[in-house]
Amino acid sequence: MRTTIATAGPSQRSWWRQAVAILAAGLMGLGFIGLGSPAAQADDPTCLPDEPCVTNVNDDYTAPQGGQWTFEATGFDPEGTLYVYLGDDTGPLLRSYPLDENGDTGTVAPDYTRVPIAVSNFPTTGEYELYFIDSAFTELYVPITVTTPASVTVTTASSGVTGGSLTVTGSGWTTTNVSASAIVALKIEQASDSSVTYNHLPGYPADPDISANLTIWAYARPDANGDFSITITLPSGTTGANGSNPEFGTGSYRVRALAGSLQTGDRAGVALSAVFTVS
């Protein structure tokens, strides 16, 4: 069952939010903008029509420390922005997400709906609250439980060439019953800046049966012990079928492996390889 709590009322807002709300109310009175009122998400697994809602596809409100929590938001400010804070609006801003014409985050690009559970913001395991607020001041609190990450690893060859092959191995990638394998997504990112993730271009043969996420370069399917070895093709450094955005070239990179959202029962896990160089 999805577990959430009611949103805060105006008296619980921080002073700057109150000031913004007063300014927005004045603009609304002049006809410049419309201001939504805080909403509550019921303790019910079904979203109500025309009400804001935040859900997880597997009804899973846990996330590994250092990993991500995946959600879908519906019924917020159409074509607005959804902000996610830790605790409340005085806490750190974790990420913001564009909303479509229906006020939904959508599911076409899963990276747009993942909250980073960085150790710097979640230093211990346990209960936390995520505070969702959109550009019309619609609010929701969603409690999640941060767990100890699964003991997983990913390693790569130490070097490669653009358009060449790279062997990636991993261990510990099992499901929640630890008797079957998870599906592991493999991404490529800059070693010096993890925010720079390389997208493959349409036409690259990533597995279309699982996800249209362009940041995924391959899916590993471990054995019953959670181990895998897979050879991936690195971006060619062009804008062709095996090209990438941004363009891939010589330098230092890492492979990021993630699991937990590609099939029901997968244990959430994230691992980062050692640096490999491309020449």
pLDDT digits (tens, 9 = 90+) for 161-173: 888 888 888 888 7
> How many C-alpha atoms does 29 have within 13 Å on its Cβ side?
6
Total domain count, the chain = 2
CATH code of the domain in which 241 resides = 2.60.40.10
129 & 194 share domain: no
Quick one: pLDDT at residue 237? 81
In a domain, 254, yes or no: yes
Are 137 and 177 within one domain? no
Residue 55: inside a domain, yes or no? yes
Point out the least confidently predicted range of 21-30, 51-60, 113-122, 196-205. Answer: 21-30
Residues 104 and 225 in one domain: no
| 59/139 same-domain check | yes
Structural domain ending residue among the three candidates 124, 147, 170: 147
Cβ atoms < 10 Å from Cβ of 71? 22
Give me the phi and psi of 35, to 5 degrees please: -115, 120
Q: Are residues 103 and 125 in the same domain?
A: yes
Q: Which of 3-12, 98-107, 266-275 has the lowest mean pLDDT?
A: 3-12
Is pLDDT above 50 for 128? yes
Kindly report the number of other CB atoms within 10 A of residue 161's CB atom.
14
- Indicate if 158 and 273 belong to the same structural domain: yes
108 lies in some domain: yes
Q: Which of 44-48, 71-75, 269-273 has the lowest mean pLDDT?
A: 44-48
Q: What is the pLDDT of residue 135?
A: 93
Establish if 173 belongs to a structural domain: yes
The answer on 177 and 79 residing in a single domain is no
Residue 140 belongs to domain spanning? 10-147
Dist CA 58 CA 265 (whole Å):
9
Which of 104, 120, 147 terminates a domain? The answer is 147
Q: Which residue has the tokens 């709590």?
A: 5
**Which SS3 state, helix, strand or coil, does residue 27 take?**
helix
Task: Report how far apart, in Å, the C-alpha atoms of 148 and of each of 26, 122, 175, 194, 258 are.
Answer: 47, 11, 15, 22, 15
Q: What is the pLDDT of residue 182?
A: 77
pLDDT per position as a tens digit, 37-58:
344 443 444 567 778 999 887 6
Indicate whether 59 and 143 sit together in one domain.
Answer: yes
Angle at 25 between CA 24 and CA 29, to 5 degrees: 115
Q: Span 99-120, mean pLDDT?
A: 75
163 within some domain: yes
- Mean pLDDT (whole number) for 146-174: 80
Instruction: Over range 245-252, report the average pLDDT.
Output: 88
> pLDDT at position 45, please?
47
Confidence of residue 176 (pLDDT cuts 50, 70, 90): low
Domain boundary among 147, 164, 190: 147
Q: Which two tokens stand for residue 178?
A: 């630890």
- The set of long-range contacts for 41-47, using a CB threshold of 8 Å and a minimum separation of 24, is 41/2, 41/4, 41/6, 41/7, 41/140, 41/141, 41/142, 42/4, 43/1, 43/2, 43/3, 43/4, 44/1, 44/2, 45/1, 45/2, 47/74, 47/75
Mean pLDDT for the chain? Answer: 75
Pair type for strands 244-245 and 199-200: antiparallel
* pLDDT > 70: percent of the chain: 71
Same domain, 134 and 173: no
Look up the CATH number of the domain holding residue 134.
Answer: 2.60.40.1930
pLDDT at 109 > cutoff 90: no
**Mean pLDDT, rounded, for 144-162:** 79
Query: What's the average model confidence in pLDDT over 184-198?
Result: 86
Q: Where are the beta strands (DSSP E) in 11-60?
A: 53-55
Residue 159 lies in a domain: yes
Both 142 and 157 in a single domain?
no
